[in-house]
Structure 1
Amino acid sequence: MQYRQLPGTDLNVSALCLGTMTFGEQNSEADAHAQLDAAVAGGINFVDTAEMYPVPANGNTQGRTEEYVGSWLEKQPRDQIVLATKVAGPNRGMAWIRGGPQFTAAQIEQACNDSLRRLRTDYIDLYQVHWPARAVPMFGNSLYDPADEKPDTPSVHEQLEALTRLVQAGKVRHLGVSNETAWGVAEWGRVADAHGLPRVRSIQNVYNLINRAFESGLVEACHREQVALLVYSPLAFGLLSGKYITGDDRDGRMTRFPQFGVRYRKPFVDEAVAAYAALAREHGLTPAQLALAFVRSRWFVATTIIGATTMAQLAENIGSSEIVISAELEAGIEKLYRQYQSPAL
């Protein structure tokens, strides 16, 4: 397993990170602990969760993922685990979180305290803003419309001041964002420098073989601002594992939660997925191994967040860390990219 230091921090994180959004919905507490143990045994030291998990979001299960992680974490050497979680913000309709989550100072502080309690720890290594308070396109949408903006949206400065107080209190070590735009990355950096506040050190955004949008404006913004990319959805909601081609999808997320798969049900997605799966097999790889190895091999990726519902899936995902993308395979990937571009954008 490779390890990479997040810029501007002392966090040395594994090239694969264990995602936990299935804990509490598709996976029991025992399942969760087994996955966490296997991840650590495989060299993973980075665990990512969120206050709104598990997914799909539900008032009856919200916070359960952090609880499952916490009941495992309290039995581990805390300084050997890099723990990341996220604070939920507005525009997602989750009234069961603080009566409707917002990024006010009081709500950010409460969210952090609640996460610390569920996680059974005194500090969070990386505390992330789950999505912008601004009305920006995300989760399958791609068009920005200024008419969607709301006048009472907390500014980046207001949010950063509230997050800074958590850092000063020792509850949070470093800050990150998620589902952010190139303008947002630059703005977080500008505000931090202008007011002497902590800089954002990471961004957690989607990136995979069928959605390579990050490679345009965001990659330059993150490079120049020294913000590390933590990739989520490297398997595109499981599509790039190939299981929806073979029919081994009875308990897949696209099957169980079709409303979440809308962002991937777009023209040419199925064709592109089949083409990448065929390419993988030509090179003696499974489709999942190819998809994960591709993401991990990009120069701008700090870590790839993997998620699984079975131990077999997890073992395959961890095993991808040993795969090297050859020049021939790289050429095959780029040939398909020129043909299909990013159909899941």
Structure 2
Amino acid sequence: MQYQTLPQLDEKVSKICLGTMTWGQQNTQDDAHAQMDMALSEGVNFWDTAEMYPSPPDKDKQGDTERFMGTWFSKTKQRDKVILASKMSPMSFLRDGKSRYTAEHISAAIDDNLQRLQTDYIDIYQLHWPERQANFFGQRGYNEDMAAQPLEDLTPFLETIKALNDEIKKGRIRAYGLSNDTAWGLMRYLWEADKNGLIAPITVQNPYSLLNRLYEVNMAEISHRENVGLLAYSPLGFGVLSGKYLDGKRPEGARLTKYDRFERYVNEQAKSATEQYAKIAAEAGLDMAQMSLAFVNSRSFVTSNIIGATNTEQLKSNIDSIDLTLDSDVLDAIEAIHTRQPNPSP
């Protein structure tokens, strides 16, 4: 395994992060425990979850992913071997449908996170998506409806930052990060924290894969200049970049077979690009999923690559991508496809 040092925490985290959002929908508690056992045995010490998981969100199952993790911590007594990240969500059915990034709601959310996780601290606490309307979750561009939303209607950035700093002082979280945010949003948090002498976010969790390299356009420079690493999610485009959906296939039990809300990963442009990436892998004698993950692993602005799996065989194969270094011919071929068909799955 390879490791990166997290700023502020001075902790070494695995370049591969264990993603968990299928636990409770596609995976049982036993499945989840088996994945945690394997991940730790393979040197994966960085795990990511959220109060909203499993995904897709379900009121009856909400929080089950954290509960599964909590029962594993209770059973194994190995919480201290894991760098744990979780999230809270705004504008959802949580907290009586009034969830915001206020001091009150942040405190209440962390109360519940800690109870489900059966721990007394979270290493990195993330804001799952912005309160404000912005171009995330498959929205490519910023539009007039988003621009029309007054910031005065939202929780002030400074209130949120102060609340998270207070939680750091209490020891309930050790650091915080953003997720599904934009360049403006990240810079606003950094500016407000710096202006007021407060602790700033250390990570941002956004999508990044061969099918979505929008992070490179303006966020990658912030990662480099401001030392805010990317936690890349959906590095396989919800499994599309494993090749299992090629030729219109819909494997039984697979994520895109079960949930049509993620169709952006199989639009016509995405299908075309995926077929071309599959050809590169085949010609180079590479497993397509490992090639796709190795590309993400190789990016200098990526702190950790969040991989998810529905079984331990997939998980082991995905973890093993850390040992794959793509040669220049493969990287050049990937770049040629990206030039022709950039970012088909925003």
TM-score (norm 1): 0.96
Q: Distance in 2 between matches of 1:52 and 1:222?
A: 26
Q: Distance between the aligned counterparts of 1:335 and 1:125, measured in 2?
A: 39
RMSD of Structure 2 on Structure 1 (CA): 1.3
Distance in 2 (alpha carbons) for counterparts of 1:312 and 1:148: 46
Could you tell me which of 101, 107, 110 is aligned with 1:103? Answer: 101
Residue 138 (structure 1) aligns with = 136
Aligned mates of 1:329, 1:143 — CA distance in 2: 30
8 A contact 2:3–2:14 mirrored in 1: yes
Partner residue in 1 for 2:253: 251
After superposition, residues 121-132 of structure 1 pair within 5 angstroms as: 121-132=119-130
Separation of aligned partners in 1, 2:307 and 2:89: 21
Count of residues in correspondence between the two structures: 341
Whether the 8 Å contact between 1:17 and 1:306 is mirrored in structure 2 is: yes
Q: 2:153 is paired with a residue of what secondary structure? A: coil
Counterpart of 2:202 in 1: which secondary structure?
strand
User: Which residue does the alignment assign to 1:115?
Assistant: 113
Alignment of 1:283 with 2:284, yes or no, is yes
Whole-Å separation in 2 of the counterparts to 1:20 and 1:86 = 12
Q: Is the 8 A contact 1:292 1:317 kept in 2?
A: yes
Q: Which residue of 1 aligns with 2:29?
A: 29
Distance in 2 between residues matched to 1:199 and 1:27, nearest whole Å: 35
Q: How does 1:1-345 map to 2 (within 5 A)?
A: 1-74=1-74, 75-90=76-91, 94-144=92-142, 145-149=146-150, 151-245=152-246, 247=249, 249-259=251-261, 261-345=262-346
Q: Quick one: distance in 2 between partners of 1:334 and 1:203?
A: 24
Per-residue CA shift, 1:166-220, capped at 9, x if unaligned? 1111100011100111111111111111111111000000000011000111111
Map Cα deviations across residues 267-288 of structure 1 (whole Å, 9 max, x no partner). 4110101110111111111110
Q: Which moves more between the two structures, 80-89 or 8-17?
A: 8-17
Q: In the TM superposition, what is the alpha-carbon distance from 1:97 to its structure 2 partner?
A: 4.2
Maintained 8 Å contact 2:250/2:256:
no
1:270-317 Cα deviation digits (max 9, x unpaired): 010111011111111111011100000111111100000112211110
Query: What is the rounded CA distance, in whole Å, between the counterparts of 1:138 and 1:149 in structure 2?
Result: 18
- Letter matched to residue 3 of structure 1: Y
Deviation, structure 1 residue 122: 0.7
Q: Secondary structure at the match of 1:321?
A: helix
The AA in structure 1 aligned to 2:137 is F
**Identical aligned residues as a percent:** 43
- Report Cα offsets for 1:301-345 as digits up to 9, x if no partner: 111000001122111101111101111111111111112111112
User: How far does residue 76 in structure 1 lie from its aligned partner after superposition?
Assistant: 3.3
Contact 1:281 1:287 in 2 (8 A): yes
The change in CA–CA distance for 1:118 and 1:128 in structure 2 (over 3 A counts) is: same
Q: CA deviation at 1:13?
A: 0.5
1:77 Cα offset (Å): 2.7
SS in 2 for 1:23: coil
Q: Provide the rounded CA distance (Å) in 2 between the counterparts of 1:268 and 1:65.
A: 33
Ranges of 4+ aligned residues in structure 1 off by more than 4 Å: none
C-alpha contact 1:140 1:262 (8 A) present in aligned 2: no
Q: Following the alignment from structure 2 to structure 1, what is the Cα–Cα distance between the partners of residues 302 and 96?
A: 34
5+ unaligned residues in a row in structure 2: which ranges? none
Distance in 1 (CA, whole Å) between partners of 2:69 and 2:205 is: 19
The structure-2 alpha-carbon separation of the partners of 1:121 and 1:98, relative to structure 1 and needing over 3 Å to count, comes to: farther
- Superposition deviation, residue 7 in structure 1: 2.2
> How many Å separate the matches in 2 of 1:103 and 1:299?
31
2:240–2:266 CA contact under 8 A, matched in 1: no
Alpha-carbon displacement from aligned partner over 1:137-176 (angstroms, at most 9, x marks no partner): 1111122231244642002111111111111111000111
* 1:185–1:225 CA contact under 8 A, matched in 2: no
Residue deviations 1:75-132, cap 9 Å, x none?
2332221000001112xxx324443321121111000110000000010000001111
Distance 2:344 2:162 in 1: 38
Residue 125 of structure 1 aligns to which amino acid in structure 2? D
TM-score between the two structures when normalised by the length of structure 2:
0.95
Three-state SS of the structure 2 residue aligned to 1:341 is: coil
SS in 2 for 1:131: coil
